[in-house]
Amino acid sequence: MAKRIDISGLHAFYGAVHAIEDISMTIEPRSVTAFIGPSGCGKSTFLRTLNRMHEVIPGARVEGKVMLDDEDLYDASVDPVAVRRLVGMVFQRPNPFPTMSIYDNVAAGLKLNGVRRKSQLDDIVEESLKGANLWNEVKDRLGKPGAGLSGGQQQRLCIARAIAVQPQVLLMDEPCSALDPISTLAIEDLIDKLKAQYTIVIVTHNMQQAARVSDRTAFFNIAGTGKPGKLIEIDDTSKIFTNPDQKATEDYITGRFG
């Protein structure tokens, strides 16, 4: 299920603002890649270019190539809607559909894909909630609103919703920043479990989290206000956190700035 992502020469813009500049990297399947860097360095923007969510903001555009195995996501013939069905996303704040039950939240993406049979929906909803380590907590109240769960449960519900459609890649944009430490731990355990099946990319502000959950870490930085964000280096997480090649990376992870 998991696919490799190959990015080359990628630029992203918001209108006239050049948000990220010339990024190239390879993201391996069945691994966790973490993006770290100071606020405003473009890591979230970059993440959103990987499922073409960047362009839903008016005036936003992208240059460069993103290959999912051998398919160019930005080819003129590619429908962004189809891309987002292959590359799932989990957001910073848990955003279950507020008017839907827990069950319907998980089933929402399946219904978009034309799954209508009740028994099939039941199976996939259960499987996805189990996959998101949420099943035992909600199995007796699947008909209750998803918005009634705790923040951490809501975030796992969003993960269940994302994996229910069996994406190739799972993007996570600071998935724990709105959560308490216990819920954060639950999500981190989940990420560790999910990487057996998915290519996972996670943006995080928490360097310990990057160190705990990721196999590879990419450090992004920005030369100054108004300048585009850049990829400084990407390497195995253990190397980035012990012996990075770049001075800026070392300064950042040792807390000298950021």
Residues in contact with other proteins, counted by CB under 8 A, come to a total of 29
Structure tokens at 179: 């959560």
Burial 145-183 (b: 16+ CB within 10 A, else e): bbbebeebbbbbbbbbbbbbbbbbbbbbbbbbebbeeeb
Among 25, 100, 115, 185, the residue binding other proteins under the rule CB under 8 A is 100
Instruction: Assess 16 for contact with other proteins (CB under 8 A).
Output: no
User: 128-167: which residues touch other proteins (CB under 8 A)?
Assistant: 145, 147, 158, 161-162, 165
Residue among 178, 171, 221, 165 at smallest CA distance from 48: 171
Binding mask 20-59 for other proteins (x = CB under 8 A): -------------------------------x-x--x-x-
CB of 8 or CB of 99, closer to other proteins: 99
Q: Which helix (H) or strand (E) holds 22?
A: strand 17-27
Report d(CA 175, CA 127) in Å as an integer. 21
Binding mask 165-184 for other proteins (x = CB under 8 A): x-------------------
Window of 92-100, 188-196, 240-248, 250-258 that interacts with other proteins by CB under 8 A:
92-100
Strand 32-36 to 199-203 pairing: parallel
Structure tokens at 188: 């981190």
CB of 51 or CB of 217, closer to other proteins: 51
User: 64-83: which residues touch other proteins (CB under 8 A)?
Assistant: 81-83
Cα separations in angstroms, 132 against 27, 53, 139: 23, 23, 13
Q: Which residues bind other proteins (CB under 8 A)?
A: 51, 53, 56, 58, 81-85, 88-89, 91, 93, 95-100, 108-109, 112-113, 145, 147, 158, 161-162, 165
